[in-house]
Each structure stands twice: as structure tokens, then as C-alpha cells.
Structure 1
């Protein structure tokens, strides 16, 4: 399946928030207390989304036929989670795959596409995080070659920091 990354516009904010809510509900059905704040997001999370859209960091992921598969946020720096860094990296947040596309390797394919872009941009690492409340997601990233390199505690949760050397 060929995937395309489409820049999200501020007019798409309601769709972004709906995708987060849908994903939070999907995760809740699996008895994982991760991202539940997206069911009724606090203002700080809404502002985080708006900032990411304004900085052109959010992308819808579609098939060649324009079916919406999910979304992702890609940053060139991530001071909130990682602090200042010397090494050039791409940072992945909010990787969402719609439920009907789960189990088809799409998450891994999205990360591969971002990894290729990071290499083209001469980055040394691809970095992401996973909520400690979601050990299955942590194992998923580890199985894709990401190494745990730290932890970050924020008001809404504690996150494991992962990176993959490129």
C-alpha cells in the first residue's frame, strides 16, 4: 500500500481532535490507560495541536486513493520531551493509525517513510516516545529497532524516550 503525507491545515483541527478521541477510545477498549485525556482534551493539549499545525508538523496519512489511514506529527526538535540536543534528529509524535487499518504493518511503514526523510535530511536519529502505561506500544517500538534511552515525566504522564540510529 502506497502512503501519502498531506500537510494538515488549521481548518482540519476538528478532524485531528476527532482522530485523537477515536484512538483514545480504541486504546481504552484494550484496558490501557493511555491518551485518555484526548477524550476531552485540556486546553494545553489543544494549544499543542494548534502550535504543531501552525509549524507545519502535522500530516494526515492517506492511501493513493485518498482513504484516511491516520496522522502523525514530525518535528525537527523536541525541547519539551528531549531538551536541547546536539545531534540532528527527527521527532515523531501522535502516530495514529485508524482502527480499520490496524494489523497491516502501516505503523511500521509510516515510520520507515519518516526514517527515509530523516536520512535525506542528514539526521543522525529518529526519536519518539511512548507512554509508560502502554507497555505493548513500548515493545512495538523496540521490535522496530528503537532503543530506550531515557524517561520524561510530564504532568499528564511519564514517557519512555526511544531513538533509532540512522
Structure 2
């Protein structure tokens, strides 16, 4: 079991994971991701920027998470818990459906939170699609505080924005 930076050779497995997640989300009438987001370009950029991490167990890709300092412009209009001094942002957390509810998402979030703490970030920010009740419950159970909501192009429902102080 390991979490490590994704490399270009991982991209095919990553896109297969994303495709399986989209199919699973749509089967549950959750239209969070689609052919326009996230794309291979997003993940190739994450790999190039060394911000995409992959969780493998027995050589099998079970989940991914992107962590960096990039905040969507939509975040600017929210009243966050702290200023922007040292903020880490979580993007594109995904767990292959056959591995969901087995602790993979928890492991990825533990990794991200430890990364933030060990690298002197003050807080972690993220957003969750309001039409995805499992994701919302997942973050709230981990102590993330709902700050507000934003809208992203191509989505009818808002995304709830969360923050957790790590210092």
C-alpha cells in the first residue's frame, strides 16, 4: 500500500479510474463530472506540476488526489476562516468504485492533511458538488467547515466550499 506522486505512465490508469467514477456517479444521478471535466489535460498538468498523488495497493490504482495551492477564482468572493497566507487546496479526489467504502478516500485525505501540516500550511480548502451527498458527508465528518457556495460553468447545482484549519 502506498501513496506517491503520479507519473506520466500512470495517465491511462488514471483516466480509466475517472471514467469508472463518472459512470458510477451518473448511475446515482450525480452529474458532477463529465466529458468536459476533468480531462486528461487536467491530470497531465497535475503530473507536470507534481501535485497529483496516486494510491496503489498491490500495484492496483485505487484512488487519486490533487493537492496544490491553486484556488479557483470563484473562491475570492467567500469569507474564509483565515487569510490566504498558507492555504493548500484539494482537487479531484477520486476512488475507483470497486474500492469505495474501504478506507481509500480516508487514506488519501489523511495523506493530504498530513502533507498540509508537515509543510506548514495553515488551512485546507476544497469544494464538493452539492448534488453529491456522500462527498458532503465525507468532508463534514472529517471536520471541514462549510464556508459558502460557488457555481462553476456547465453545472446547474452549486459547489459547497469547505475549509479546515490545520495549524
TM range (shorter): 0.7 to 0.9
Alpha carbons of structure 1 residues 140 and 20: separation in structure 2 relative to 1, 3 Å: same
Residue 2 of structure 2 corresponds to residue 47 of structure 1: no
RMSD: 2.2
- Which residue of structure 2 lines up, in the alignment, with residue 129 of structure 1? 127
The equivalent position to 2:63 in structure 1, one of 70, 73, 91, is: 70
Relative CO higher for 1 or 2, CA cutoff 8 Å, sep ≥ 6? 2
Alignment of 1:65-144 (within 5 A): 65-83=58-76, 86-144=84-142
What SS does structure 1 have at the residue aligned with 2:32? coil
Alpha carbons of structure 1 residues 125 and 24: separation in structure 2 relative to 1, 3 Å: same
CA distance in 1, matches of 2:37, 2:99: 30
Listed as ranges, the gaps of 5+ residues in structure 2 are 78-82
What SS does structure 1 have at the residue aligned with 2:139? helix
Listed as ranges, the gaps of 5+ residues in structure 1 are none
CA distance in 2, matches of 1:43, 1:113: 24
1:13 shift after superposition: 2.7
1:102 shift after superposition: 1.5
- Which residue of structure 1 lines up, in the alignment, with residue 80 of structure 2? none
What's the TM-score, normalizing by structure 1?
A: 0.83
| CA displacement, residues 11-37 of structure 1 (integer Å, 9 cap, x when unaligned) | 4333222211110111122222221x1
